[in-house]
Amino acid sequence: MLNSYDIIIIGAGPAGATFARIAEKSQKILLIDGSSDGKPCGGLLAPDAQKALACFDLTLPREVLVDPQIFSVRTIDLKTKQQRWYQRLYINVDRKKFDNWLVSLSPFNVTKEKGICFKIQKENDGYIVTYKNSSGETINAYGKNLIGADGANSIVRRSFFPKLHTRQYVAIQQWFEEEREIAKPFYSCIFDADTTDCCSWSISKDGYIIFGGAFAPKNCRSIFENQKEKLIKFGFPLNNPVKTEACMVLRPNSLKSFCCGGDGIFLIGEAAGFISPSSLEGISYAINSAVMLNNALLSDKKDKHKEYKRATKSLRLKLIVKNLKCPLMYDPYLRKIIMKSGFSSIEIYQK
């Protein structure tokens, strides 16, 4: 028997979980997610993400937080060997627990399914979604509307809107056990023009150091190792990884990098291209686009697609402005001047 829903959401990251939580309770919703290990992520809630949560008057449970909390970022340019520290007001979280917590807030009208969607077909006025559930069974479900909240490599976007013009990177992260006796936890942002035109990072998290970076797809793994070697020489304790993870990450650079959907399909979060091209911060855009879609669907406007596109104009403009600011961070020459000047950096008394 084919189960029928008003809305099927594919992906229960911050975008999908937020939409499921706030959507009208009269809607019968299916929320499908295939993740078992959690999404590779730095797990830092930037001020914009904190504001997005604050707008719901939500408080973060302690179990979601990890040790330590972070006040500064050590910024390193591997080519010029320059270093500066900048104040940052992030909240350091366990990303898997954060996502699980958001999903746990879904109300009674949301059916949650563990499963990987591998086929979507247009059928009459809706869509048939085919997924493999956690017992290995193939299930078909019918949805009048479909929400693609399935992240950078969205099957919804690839199936129906394949002409998205955006830069795609491979994000690779490795986890290392911290030697507790000598550990001095910190957060760093690393630039290395020889290996990537994007950035890398290291973050201490509950006794581990995560080192990750975003690289152009070609030879990304060997380039990652190359950069890691440089950091080991720089004194980073990055030997004997206990876990390696990778996924695609988008980096929008023009208005053509965004797609809100069409014909009964709505894209939210990174599936729509909403992620900062400068910092790769995406959680706030995921939450905010889910809110904007919900408002569009609740509005009295007849054309919900037009209304959602209109509502997300502010997100697109914000991301385009961030893209225009990118050269200040990513152009090696400009970065050298800015880091040398010490502009907006803080002084560290004991390094």
Ligand X SMILES: Cc1cc2nc3c(=O)[nH]c(=O)nc-3n(C[C@H](O)[C@H](O)[C@H](O)COP(=O)(O)OP(=O)(O)OC[C@H]3O[C@@H](n4cnc5c(N)ncnc54)[C@H](O)[C@@H]3O)c2cc1C
Q: Does 286 bind ligand X (CB under 6 A)?
A: yes
Binding to ligand X by residue 270, rule CB under 6 A?
yes
Figure out which of the listed residues 173, 174, 196, 200 binds ligand X, where binding follows CB under 6 A. 173
Neighbour count for residue 245 (Cβ, 10 Å): 16
Q: Where does the chain have alpha helices with state H?
A: 14-22, 47-54, 95-104, 155-160, 220-233, 283-298, 304-311, 313-330, 332-341
Phi then psi for 335, rounded to 5 degrees? -60, -40
Min dist CB 285 to ligand X, Å, is 7
If one asks whether residue 113 binds ligand X (CB under 6 A), the answer comes out as no
Q: How far is CA 261 from CA 132, 265, 267, 329, in A?
A: 24, 5, 5, 31
199 contributes a contact to ligand X by CB under 6 A: no
- Check binding of 46 to ligand X (CB under 6 A): yes
Q: Does 281 bind ligand X (CB under 6 A)?
A: yes
Tell me which of 60, 70, 116, 320 binds ligand X, using CB under 6 A.
Answer: 116
What stretches of 192-277 adopt beta strand conformation (E)?
A: 200-205, 208-215, 243-251, 261-262, 265-267
What is the footprint of ligand X within residues 122-161 (CB under 6 A)?
149-151, 155
Q: How far, in Å, CA of 167 to CA of 146, rounded?
A: 25
CB atoms within 10 A of CB 345: 16
CA distance 238 to 314: 40
Q: Is 164 in the site for ligand X (CB under 6 A)?
A: no
How far apart CA 126 and CA 144 sit, in angstroms, is: 4
Contact call for residue 269 and ligand X (CB under 6 A): yes
Q: Which residues in 53-112 contact ligand X (CB under 6 A)? A: none
* CB atoms closer than 10 angstroms to residue 276: 19
| Angle formed by the axes of helices 283-298 and 313-330, nearest 10° | 160
Q: Near ligand X by CB under 6 A, which window of 33-41, 137-145, 255-263, 331-339? A: 33-41
Q: Which stretch binds ligand X (CB under 6 A): 10-18, 259-267, 307-315, 341-349?
A: 10-18
Of residues 76 and 92, the one with the C-beta less far from ligand X: 92
Give the Cα separation of 143 and 28 in Å (integer). Answer: 9
Q: Is 315 a residue that touches ligand X (CB under 6 A)?
A: no
Q: Pick the piece of the chain touching ligand X (CB under 6 A) from 36-44, 69-77, 298-306, 342-350.
A: 36-44
Q: Facing residues of 176 across strands?
A: 209
Interaction between residue 11 and ligand X (CB under 6 A): yes
Which of 20, 23, 29, 34 binds ligand X (CB under 6 A)? It is: 34
Contact at 8 Å (CB) between 333 and 313? no
Q: Which residue is nearest to ligand X (CB)?
A: 282
- Residue of the chain from 31, 40, 191, 227 that contacts ligand X (CB under 6 A): 40
Question: Which range in 231-239, 251-259, 267-275, 330-338 contacts ligand X by CB under 6 A?
Answer: 267-275
Binding ligand X by CB under 6 A: which of 209, 231, 283, 297? 283
Q: What is the pattern of x (binds ligand X, CB under 6 A) and - over residues 215-254?
A: --------------------------------x-x-----
Query: Do the beta carbons of residue 285 and residue 315 sit within 8 Å?
Result: yes
Number of residues that bind ligand X (CB under 6 A): 39
Identify the CA nearest to 32 among candidates 56, 52, 13: 13
How many residues are recorded in the chain? Answer: 351
Residues in contact with ligand X by CB under 6 A are: 10-16, 32-35, 39-44, 46, 49, 116-117, 149-151, 155, 171, 173, 212, 247, 249, 269-271, 275, 280-283, 286
